[in-house]
């Protein structure tokens, strides 16, 4: 028999989810988002109201946002409707972010499963940290969790250690 | 049929196995069967040759493609009308005296494209609850939905409308609708009044459907109700079984929150149809419209899955995943899967308990699918798939569970937690039910299902304070969790 690490209930070998508490029984250490040492991350805090003039954003509502992964050069366009969760796919927990950063070193880079959210209001795009383990950084400054910050063309965003560039056109 | 040896079965891997899966299976088997292996029983060299031959064929991309073509797996099998796919949670299992769990995800798709021109004629009956409680917005919305349905019928489609309270009347006798104006005005004339006896409506509705029932049409009854029926529940379920025998499916739609969800679910699942929760009267039209589209796109019907189990293997639970999560019970020796849409998939998750097996590749079950494809005038088509796994005395290698299967199982687990919350409550254990709802809410939050999590927390709070659930909350959770499988890929937004 195998034991659920969360509630202690016994299951037959091969069982994948605990029927009592719904926990995935094979989740071991490697898939967890490991906290990164503070020294590896920027420390400055971003001011959400700074630079929100929006002068550089396109004025039309047709503006589209593309995320470019610095390490791999991979480009992902934001789906129309203007909202996307950036994170790390974890099928076992049913987490399917719109932009999966696993292929861009998401796990080693300390990206949370649900790390940050990008959304659009009229022509302006915003980014919001979703209480991630290692934080979201905009141009080197750490975002306050759950507080949307405006995004501009050419901004550099960092999720944990993974760097992205924002293109708005 | 082909005389090709089944290399996939020899290696105990699925037909869509990756090269890694194939290599892993080969390594395990080669160790067991290699003539030099210490524990190799006599006569294994023959087995080893087979394994080697299978590996040589499948590990080379070109040779595998050629082999698949010969087997007809690449869709060239002209005979197959259904395409099947089976994935196992693991294909290499340890030999152990203890029982182990193995999950299988079984998917059926249409193997032949049917064009729109081949849309089957519909033979529909609307059974409308006109009890007093339907008066006002509910009945008005149902009438509007019926009008919309009448307008969307094509030449050759037959429609009947019956209305029921404690007795049932034919509003529009079964006929191909040419005078849509007259049909609509008959529907408009339905007056509310009386109690609710679903049996009356079902009976008369099924009788009406008989007039135009043909094998080459989609015979379906749509039941719309907002209330409880009293005393005739069992007879309703019996009638649903009779409907299935006549190839009539029933869509049971409950409006508001006072209807008996267990009864409507039973009617729908017995007949191979579906049940729907319509929270607000304003949604009737949209849901009816959706249902009609689904009915018009039927490719296969009366689909059944018959599992033939190998030694020391049994099935613990079966869940249908599409269009929503639903526990399937054995009906005789098979499972009723109902209808398959032309562009749809029927996915079924089997949870198997596997007892001790001898080392080597063992066939755990044979799954046989039977069904009709009315548009092609083909009946009782059969397709089979074997479920085999490799058993080894050494610790099995690391195997990734197919993500698709894991995702499905995660949702089914939530669905089961919800089921056990209700069953704790039925037994009077409020504390356990509250705790289950709270745990479930945590898991839903993990998945980003904020709305459903909130509903679960709300009900847990209510339960802890008052010992009762709200009927709407319970239905929201029940129909929300069973719908999780649908929203699989894009429910991050709430």
For every residue of B109-122, DSSP letters joined together read: EESS---GGGPPPE
Check whether A2 has a pLDDT greater than 60.
Answer: yes
Question: Distance between CA A150 and CA A125 in Å, rounded?
Answer: 6
Selected residues 342-401 of chain B with any CB under 8 Å from a CB in chain A: 353-354, 401
Mean pLDDT by 10 residues, chain B (494 residues): 72 83 87 69 73 90 84 54 88 92 93 65 94 92 92 91 95 90 94 92 96 88 90 92 91 90 90 88 87 86 92 94 88 89 90 94 92 83 87 83 85 92 92 91 82 91 89 89 63 30
Asked, for residue A5, whether it belongs to a domain, the answer is yes
Q: Which residue has the tokens 């649908």?
A: B486
Verify that A18 and A69 share a domain, yes or no.
Answer: no
R_g of chain B, CA atoms, integer Å: 26
CA angle (B386 as vertex; A94, B334 as ends), nearest 5: 80
Q: Where does the pLDDT of residue A145 fall: very low under 50, low under 70, confident under 90, or very high at 90 and above?
A: confident
CA-CA distances (angstroms) from residue B400 to A35, A110, B388, B472?
25, 22, 17, 40
Tell me the CATH number at A83. Answer: 2.60.200.20
> Residue B205: in which H helix or E strand, if any?
helix B198-210
Q: Which residue has the tokens 């304003």?
A: B282
In this prediction, residues A12-26 reach a mean pLDDT of: 86
Of B296, B326, B351, the position where a domain reaches its end is B296
Of A41 and B466, the one with more pLDDT: B466
User: If you write DSSP's letter for every residue of B315-373 in order, what string do you get?
Assistant: EEEEEE-SSS-EE---BTTBEEEEEEETT-EEEEEEEEEE----SEEEEEEEEEEEEEE
Of B374, B398, B422, the position where a domain reaches its end is B398
Asked, for residue B490, whether it belongs to a domain, the answer is no
Verify that A88 and A156 share a domain, yes or no.
Answer: yes
Range of the domain at B277: 120-296
Q: What integer pLDDT is reported at residue B42 of this predicted model?
A: 61
User: If you write DSSP's letter for every residue of B233-285 in order, what string do you get?
Assistant: HHHHHHHHHHHHHTT-EEEEEEESS-S-HHHHHHHHHHHT-EEEEE-SGGGHH
Positive or negative torsion for Cα B403, B407, B409, B413: positive
The number of distinct structural domains making up chain A is 2
Verify that A89 and A132 share a domain, yes or no.
Answer: yes
Q: Where does the pLDDT of residue A50 fall: very low under 50, low under 70, confident under 90, or very high at 90 and above?
A: low
Which of A11-20, A23-32, B198-207 has the lowest average pLDDT? A23-32
Asked, for residue B491, whether it belongs to a domain, the answer is no
What phi and psi values does residue B227 have, to the nearest 5 degrees?
Answer: -135, 180
Does residue B434 sit in helix, strand or coil? helix
Q: What integer pLDDT is reported at residue B485 of this predicted model?
A: 66
CA distance B248 to chain A (A): 36
Paired tokens of B324 = 């929503």
Question: Distance between CA B448 and CA B414 in Å, rounded?
Answer: 13
Q: Is there a contact between B263 and B295 (Cβ–Cβ < 8 Å)?
A: no
Q: Is there a contact between B258 and B160 (Cβ–Cβ < 8 Å)?
A: no
Question: Distance between CA B367 and CA B232 in Å, rounded?
Answer: 37
CB neighbours of B241 closer than 8 A, spacing ≥ 6? B270, B271
Q: Which residue has the tokens 């924002």?
A: A166
R_g of chain A, CA atoms, integer Å: 18
Verify that B414 and B287 share a domain, yes or no.
Answer: no
Asked, for residue B435, whether it belongs to a domain, the answer is yes
Verify that A17 and A75 share a domain, yes or no.
Answer: no
Q: Is there a contact between B390 and B29 (Cβ–Cβ < 8 Å)?
A: yes
Please list every residue in chain B whose beta carbon sits closer than 8 Å to the beta carbon of residue A26: 401
Q: Which residue has the tokens 């049996």?
A: B199
CA angle (B178 as vertex; B175, B180 as ends), nearest 5: 100
Asked, for residue B494, whether it belongs to a domain, the answer is no
Tell me the CATH number at B253. Answer: 3.40.50.410
CA distance A40 to chain B (A): 27
Please list every residue in chain A whose beta carbon sits closer than 8 Å to the beta carbon of residue B446: 93-95
Asked, for residue B339, whether it belongs to a domain, the answer is yes
Verify that B307 and B275 share a domain, yes or no.
Answer: no
Mutate to test the interface with A, among B101, B105, B490 (most CBs of A within 10 A): B101
Name which of A15, A18, A91 is nearest B403 (Cβ-Cβ). Answer: A91
In this prediction, residues A147-162 reach a mean pLDDT of: 91
State whether residue B325 sits within 8 Å of chain A by CB: no
Residue A119: closest CA among chain B residues belongs to which residue?
B493
State whether residue B445 sits within 8 Å of chain A by CB: no
Record: contact A22-B96, CB cut-off 8 A: no
Mutate to test the interface with B, among A94, A96, A97, A102 (most CBs of B within 10 A): A94
Q: What integer pLDDT is reported at residue A48 of this predicted model?
A: 60
Verify that B276 and B345 share a domain, yes or no.
Answer: no
Question: Distance between CA B79 and CA B67 in Å, rounded?
Answer: 18
Verify that B144 and B282 share a domain, yes or no.
Answer: yes
pTM: 0.70
State whether residue B320 sits within 8 Å of chain A by CB: no
The number of distinct structural domains making up chain B is 4
CB neighbours of B293 closer than 8 A, spacing ≥ 6? none
Q: Is there a contact between B252 and B236 (Cβ–Cβ < 8 Å)?
A: no
Verify that B419 and B361 share a domain, yes or no.
Answer: no
Please list every residue in chain B whose beta carbon sits closer than 8 Å to the beta carbon of residue A2: none
Verify that B59 and B131 share a domain, yes or no.
Answer: no
Q: What integer pLDDT is reported at residue A59 of this predicted model?
A: 47
Question: Distance between CA B17 and CA B229 in Å, rounded?
Answer: 50
State whether residue B96 sits within 8 Å of chain A by CB: yes
Range of the domain at A163: 65-168
Tell me the CATH number at B101. Answer: 2.60.40.3670
Enumerate chain A positions whose Cβ falls within 8 A of a Cβ in B. Answer: 1, 11-24, 26, 83, 85, 91-98, 114
DSSP letter, residue A27:
-
Q: Where does the pLDDT of residue A33 fall: very low under 50, low under 70, confident under 90, or very high at 90 and above?
A: low
State whether residue B93 sits within 8 Å of chain A by CB: yes
Verify that B133 and B249 share a domain, yes or no.
Answer: yes
Verify that B95 and B222 share a domain, yes or no.
Answer: no
Name which of B353, B439, B447 is nearest A94 (Cβ-Cβ). Answer: B447
Verify that A19 and A83 share a domain, yes or no.
Answer: no
CA contacts within 13 A on the Cβ side of A66: 8
State whether residue B490 sits within 8 Å of chain A by CB: yes
Verify that A70 and A21 share a domain, yes or no.
Answer: no
In this prediction, residues A126-151 reach a mean pLDDT of: 89
Please name which of A50, A46, A63, A48 lies closest in space to residue A123, comparing C-alpha atoms.
Answer: A63
Asked, for residue A40, whether it belongs to a domain, the answer is no
């Amino acid at each position: 028999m195998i034991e659920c690490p969360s509630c202690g209930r016994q299951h037959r070998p091969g069982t994948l989810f605990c029927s009592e508490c719904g926990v995935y029984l094979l989740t071991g250490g490697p898939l967890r988002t490991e906290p990164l040492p503070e020294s590896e991350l920027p420390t400055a805090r971003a001011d959400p109201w700074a630079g929100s003039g929006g002068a550089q954003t396109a004025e039309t509502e047709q503006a589209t946002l593309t995320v470019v992964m610095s390490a791999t050069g991979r480009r992902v366009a934001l789906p129309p409707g203007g909202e996307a969760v950036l994170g790390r796919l974890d099928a076992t927990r049913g987490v399917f972010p719109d932009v999966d950063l696993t292929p861009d070193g998401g796990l080693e880079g300390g990206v949370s499963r649900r790390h940050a959210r990008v959304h659009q209001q009229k022509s302006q795009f915003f980014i919001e940290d979703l209480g991630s383990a290692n934080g979201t950084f905009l141009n080197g400054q750490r975002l306050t969790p759950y507080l949307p910050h405006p995004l501009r063309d050419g901004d550099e965003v960092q999720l944990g250690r993974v760097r992205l560039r924002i293109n708005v056109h | 049929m082909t005389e090709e040896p089944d290399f996939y079965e020899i290696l105990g891997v699925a037909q869509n196995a990756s090269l890694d899966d194939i290599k892993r299976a080969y390594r395990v088997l080669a160790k067991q069967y290699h003539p030099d292996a210490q524990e190799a029983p006599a006569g294994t060299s023959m087995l080893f040759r087979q394994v080697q031959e299978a590996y040589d064929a499948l590990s080379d991309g070109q040779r595998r493609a050629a082999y698949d073509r010969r087997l007809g797996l690449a869709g060239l099998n002209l005979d197959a009308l259904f395409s099947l796919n089976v994935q196992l949670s693991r294909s290499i299992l340890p030999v152990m005296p203890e029982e182990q769990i193995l999950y299988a995800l079984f998917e059926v798709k249409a193997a032949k494209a049917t064009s729109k021109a081949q849309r089957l004629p519909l033979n529909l009956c609307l059974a409308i609850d006109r009890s007093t409680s339907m008066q006002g917005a509910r009945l008005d919305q149902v009438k509007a939905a019926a009008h919309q349905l009448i307008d969307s019928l094509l030449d050759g489609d037959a429609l009947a409308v019956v209305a029921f309270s404690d007795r049932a009347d034919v509003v529009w006798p079964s006929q191909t609708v040419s005078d849509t104006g007259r049909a609509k005005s008959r529907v408009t004339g339905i007056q509310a009044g009386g109690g609710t006896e679903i049996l009356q409506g079902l009976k008369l509705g099924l009788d009406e459907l008989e007039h135009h029932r043909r094998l080459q049409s989609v015979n379906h009854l749509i039941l719309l109700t907002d209330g409880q029926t009293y005393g005739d529940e069992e007879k309703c379920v019996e009638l649903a079984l009779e409907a299935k025998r006549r190839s009539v499916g029933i869509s049971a739609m409950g409006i508001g929150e006072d209807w008996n969800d267990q009864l409507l679910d039973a009617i729908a699942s017995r007949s191979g149809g579906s049940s729907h929760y319509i929270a607000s009267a304003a949604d009737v039209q949209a849901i009816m419209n959706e249902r009609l589209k689904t009915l018009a796109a039927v490719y296969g019907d009366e689909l059944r899955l018959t599992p033939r189990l190998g030694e020391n293997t049994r099935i613990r639970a079966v869940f249908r995943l599409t269009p929503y999560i639903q526990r399937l019970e054995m009906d005789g020796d098979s499972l009723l899967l109902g209808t398959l849409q032309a562009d749809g998939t029927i996915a079924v998750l089997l949870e198997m308990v596997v007892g001790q097996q001898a080392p080597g590749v063992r066939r755990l079950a044979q799954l046989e699918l039977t069904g009709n494809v009315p548009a092609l005038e083909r009946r009782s088509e059969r397709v089979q798939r074997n479920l085999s796994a490799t058993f080894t005395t050494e610790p099995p290698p690391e195997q990734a569970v197919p993500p698709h299967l894991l995702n499905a199982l995660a949702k089914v687990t939530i669905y089961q937690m919800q089921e056990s919350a209700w069953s704790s409550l039925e037994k009077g254990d409020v504390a356990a039910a509250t705790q289950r709802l709270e745990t479930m809410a945590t898991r839903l939050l993990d998945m980003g299902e904020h709305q459903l999590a909130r509903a679960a927390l709300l009900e847990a709070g209510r339960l802890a304070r008052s010992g009762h659930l709200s009927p709407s909350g319970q239905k929201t959770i029940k129909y929300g969790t069973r719908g999780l499988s649908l929203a699989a890929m894009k429910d991050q937004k709430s």
